[in-house]
Structure 1
Amino acid sequence: MSPVVDAHLVVERGTFRLDVPLRVAAGEVVALLGPNGAGKTTALRALAGLQPLTAGHLVLAGRDVDRPGQRHWTPPEHRPIGVVFQDYLLFPHLNALDNVAFGPRRHGADRRSARRRAAEWLDRVGLGAQARSRPRQLSGGQAQRVALARALAVDPVLLLLDEPLAALDARTRLDTRAELHRHLDAHPGAALLVTHDPLDALVLADRLVIIEDGRVVQEGDAATVTARPRTDYVARLVGLNLYRGVADGHAVRVDDRLTLAVADPLHGDAFVAFPPSAVALHPRRPDGSPRNAWPAVIAGLQRHGDNLRVQLDGPIAVAADVTPAAASHLDLAPGRPVWAAVKAAETRAYPA
């Protein structure tokens, strides 16, 4: 089956170049993640028609929308796309009903049918009683749902969501995320979620596409990406320590001063990953001399849930999670030398 979205997004802006192939199927939710400056917003703007492509193509449901090689470009208002912006961008002078009716009206519906459709969508998102409310009278969660209803009221082939939960407080975010998940499940078209929040991506998306410096560095379902991160950004995103080295059987040399014993036998270029919780700290070289033990220096300490996250310098930079009791017993402080140890069974090794 042909994808609803078949795109090769190439945009050049000064010294920055976005070069991202993207395919999204009907009913699929894809999350586009990456650090600040990776090109997420540029990609979203190119899809929405706010940033013309420099090269490549964008085809939506079999229809050419942007193909610079043939000098073909479709303006935003003629694209079968709905957008939920980060700040929602509701019209302050219109009530909720007319905000939602704006989309159908723009697509040619008469005023009565547009308002009837808007009322149906407000009911669907649980805001029928707020139809006459202006944006300033709505809570953050309600405003987000009005923006979602406005985007969906045009039956978009592609729904774009730009950091849709970023403006909400923690409690509202939890409830709204669950509500958004329900509506995305019911959306028959394709959906692209642009976010920097791994939890939003893991909960809402079927597939993750991770970009850095304008290029795709990894993609796959959540289980694949979290199990085998391929860049430092992805490793931090999923909470793992990640190192690249050269494997020879059950040993991976990750630094001139350190070779890690691993459970998985490999040969050649390899990644080694392990969670901060797998790192044990000792005041001196541990008894029994575990094979994965090395001297380190504490570079920083910070609260991490119920534990402390300890940043270590040494042959490799490592994050370790320890309990407050263990930290007190070890008398941890920046600049203090310690020994770090990781069991081979706690590591994951895989081809680079």
Structure 2
Amino acid sequence: MTAPLLDARLVVDRGTFRLDVPVTVAAGEVVAVLGPNGAGKTTALRALAGLQPLTAGHVTLGGVDLDHPDRRAWTPAERRPVGVVFQDYLLFPHLSARDNVAFGPRRHGVDRRTARRTADEWLTRVGLSGYAGRRPGQLSGGQAQRVALARALAVAPALLLLDEPLAALDARTRLDTRAELQRHLTAHGGATVLVTHDPLDALVLADRLVIVEGGRVVQEGDAVTVTARPRTDYVARLVGLNLYRGHAAGHTVRVGDGLTLTVADRLDGEVFVAFRPAAVALHPHRPDGSPRNTWPATVVGVQRHGDNLRVQLDGPIAVAADVTPAAAAQLRLAPGQPVWAAVKAAETNAYPAT
């Protein structure tokens, strides 16, 4: 098996918070680090960039220790073969787009003429050949993002770090820029780490997802694995699933406050059970017929969700249900309204919790 280009264990102590996250990335691979606010995503990125020294662990890139406290190895940020695109881009406001992109090569000892030629080549690659003389204040958000990406890639980094690279863009610009960014990441031969809170950015751009909560990795894998089998409430919400942990005995799983669900999969021991909000049917009275799983619930909230309404329910388990506006009107859904919820066993996905 080929050794990863980036091999890191990021251990950083900040007051009472400890980050302890292993990260490996192969050449040409894009790894997305996702997590809620305060999970440690930005601290991890700063540690890789050399802006936050490690307390313990290591950052090894291409077999070279960039930060290894036990060995007293430390490479400052400006000497690392690392390109960074920050959330707010941090372009130099007094420099043109060309000179912003040329800044990296110049810092690496390239002469002014060659650095500017390299900058022009990269601006052409990102579709901004006609904007070389413009300053950041004369660029749109999407154009500034592309200049920041060109600046990061102009030094041919072994490691590219992207910190919420699309967060500052409006929805339409974000869609176009995401597609453009995907093209450049595919062509990048180094390792890439994308830090984001947006699941769509991660699913479109990354080959592998690393989910961080409370400074620890709680789940890791390709998009199909992570989205099909979430292991925490955060990941379940990220992919739009109801998730419960319970104890299985054959085709039944005891979850929540004494509720027993019938599931399609036969399992024993600690398990997770997941199902889509669209799989939850709501009834004014206890339903008869095929649903094996029914329970009384109380509406605690109703919000628009795409073309449907998302209904938040309380009861033996807290659950989200997606219903049509017509169904909501027929049921007269409002906070405090009692209903019956039902989920067919065939709509559940149960899997081991260990």
> TM class, shorter-chain normalised?
over 0.9
Moved over 4 A (4+): none
Give the distance between the partners of 1:131 and 1:262, measured in 2 at CA: 60
Matches within 5 A, 1:38-49: 38-49=39-50
Letter in 2 for 1:175: D
Matches within 5 A, 1:285-304: 285-288=286-289, 290-304=291-305
Q: Paired residue for 1:324? A: 325
1:129-186, Cα deviation, whole Å (9 max, x unpaired): 0000000000000000000000000000000000000000000000000000000000
Give the distance between the partners of 2:202 and 2:192, measured in 1 at CA: 12
Specify whether residues 190 and 57 from structure 1 end up closer, same or farther in structure 2 by C-alpha distance, changes over 3 A only: same
Give the distance between the partners of 2:163 and 2:256, measured in 1 at CA: 40
Letter in 2 for 1:231: T
1:127 shift after superposition: 0.3
Residues 291, 345 of structure 2: 8 Å contact kept:
no
Residues 290, 344 of structure 2: 8 Å contact kept:
no
Q: Paired residue for 1:115? A: 116
Gapped regions of structure 1 (runs ≥ 5): none
1:289 shift after superposition: 6.9
1:240-298, Cα deviation, whole Å (9 max, x unpaired): 00000000010010134201000010000000000000000000100227320000000
Give the distance between the partners of 2:134 and 2:32, measured in 1 at CA: 32
Give the distance between the partners of 2:63 and 2:168, measured in 1 at CA: 35
Give the distance between the partners of 2:181 and 2:190, measured in 1 at CA: 15
Q: Paired residue for 1:250? A: 251
TM-score using structure 1 length: 0.99
Q: Paired residue for 1:133? A: 134
Q: Say how many residue pairs are matched.
A: 352
- The DSSP-based 3-state class of the residue aligned with 2:172 is helix
1:89-138, Cα deviation, whole Å (9 max, x unpaired): 00000000000000000111111111010000000001010000000000
1:72 shift after superposition: 1.4
Q: Paired residue for 2:179? A: 178
Matches within 5 A, 1:186-335: 186-288=187-289, 290-335=291-336
- The DSSP-based 3-state class of the residue aligned with 1:35 is coil
Q: Paired residue for 1:157? A: 158
RMSD value over aligned CA atoms? 0.6
Alignment of 1:169 with 2:136, yes or no, is no
Alignment of 1:23 with 2:24, yes or no, is yes
Letter in 2 for 1:194: V
Q: Paired residue for 1:59? A: 60
- The DSSP-based 3-state class of the residue aligned with 1:119 is helix
1:192-248, Cα deviation, whole Å (9 max, x unpaired): 000000000000000000000000000000000000000000000000000000000
Give the distance between the partners of 1:107 and 1:85, measured in 2 at CA: 20
1:22 shift after superposition: 0.7
1:321-341, Cα deviation, whole Å (9 max, x unpaired): 000000000000000000000
Letter in 2 for 1:119: D
TM-score using structure 2 length: 0.99
Give the distance between the partners of 2:224 and 2:49, measured in 1 at CA: 29
Letter in 1 for 2:102: A
Alignment of 1:338 with 2:339, yes or no, is yes
**Percent identical across equivalent pairs?**
81
Letter in 2 for 1:161: L
